[in-house]
Amino acid sequence: MSLKQKDLVSIESLSADELRLILETADSFKEVSGREIKKVPALRGKTVVNLFLEPSTRTRTSFELAAKRLSADVITFSPSSSSIVKGETLLDTARNIEAMQADIIVLRHPAAGAAETLARGLKSSVVNAGDGWHEHPTQALVDLFTLREKHLDFPGLRVAIVGDIAHSRVARSNIYALTKLGAEVRAVGPPTMIPSALDRLGVRVYHKLDEGLRGANVIMMLRLQLERQGKALFPTIREYSQFYGLTPERLKLAEPGVWVMHPGPINRGVEIAPEVVDSFSSVILDQAANGIAVRMAVLYLLSGANT
């Protein structure tokens, strides 16, 4: 089996079988990072260009490492090092990169829909590494992979996603991914941070954190996306933290053995207490580590190396 599309722009456009295919492919790449020589020849001769037009630590590093561990040639651009600052359009920039025989372009961009625009305009494969508030498909795949690694089954799994869901591409991708695989998804946050159409996606909405946490098997905390909020959505950060911050006491409301996730970057003491970040329940660093295997799987499948 292979992926149906040449691009990975969204989780919404993937089937449950395609999600499973990516996760199973990532299983086989996970051990590569534990080897003394962390490399396989699967993408030798292929070129991956990382076009990151918004800040990133985890996604950018792990895409670059993933491509290198697959033996691809890799170039990474940031806004300051590209001619976009001189007025060139995104599509013209990408077409010039494609003319240099890039096989896969990985794009992070502040505008929702930017990855779709590139995917339609190019013959090269495009991977969405986060486009505005729209989607962050590889982050959701990383999160699914991390939960599978903890031997959790998705059907019936209760996942509480907490925080600024309206502006979170991670939340949107995870909602699609988790519901496609049969999990029960809860959206927890103040009314100003919860989009109105969530019930159509089968998501239960909670405005009180304690209620949303009761019985949860997984808690996914989100950062306040202040850079995407046009106006203040909560009176003060201190009050937000008081009502929606995950503390050790609140963690006890969830199911025993609950796992705490966060895509990063975390704001310790705002949405999550430092003791929770560093607790046995936290899989935040597992998520960062798993980014490499999952992104290796995505690059490998899109390159057609499996066919």
Catalytic residues: 58-59, 86, 108, 136
**Cα–Cα dist 105/219, whole Å:** 32
Cα 269 to its chain centre, rounded Å, is: 22
Q: Do residues 69 and 38 touch, judged by C-beta distance below 8 A?
A: yes
CA dihedral 239, 255, 266, 232 (to 10 degrees): -30
Closest residue by Cα to residue 106 from 84, 80, 77, 85: 77
Largest Cα span, the chain:
56
CB nearer to ligand CP: pick between 135 and 184 = 135
CB 127 within 8 A of CB 107: yes
Closest distance to ligand CP from the beta carbon of 249 (Å): 27
Residue nearest to ligand CP (CB): 59
What lies within 8 Å, CB to CB, of 24 at 6+ separation is none
Nearer to ligand CP, 137 or 264 (CB): 264
What Å distances lie between residue 111 and 16, 107, 115, 189, 294, CA to CA?
Answer: 27, 11, 9, 24, 24
Least separation in angstroms between CB 287 and ligand CP: 8
185 or 220: CB nearest ligand CP: 220
Residues that bind ligand CP (CB under 6 A): 56-60, 130, 136, 139, 263-265
Nearer to ligand CP, 117 or 139 (CB): 139
Q: Give the bridge partners for 51, in sequence order.
A: 77, 107
Residue 203 DSSP one-character state: P
189 vs 264 by CB, closer to ligand CP: 264
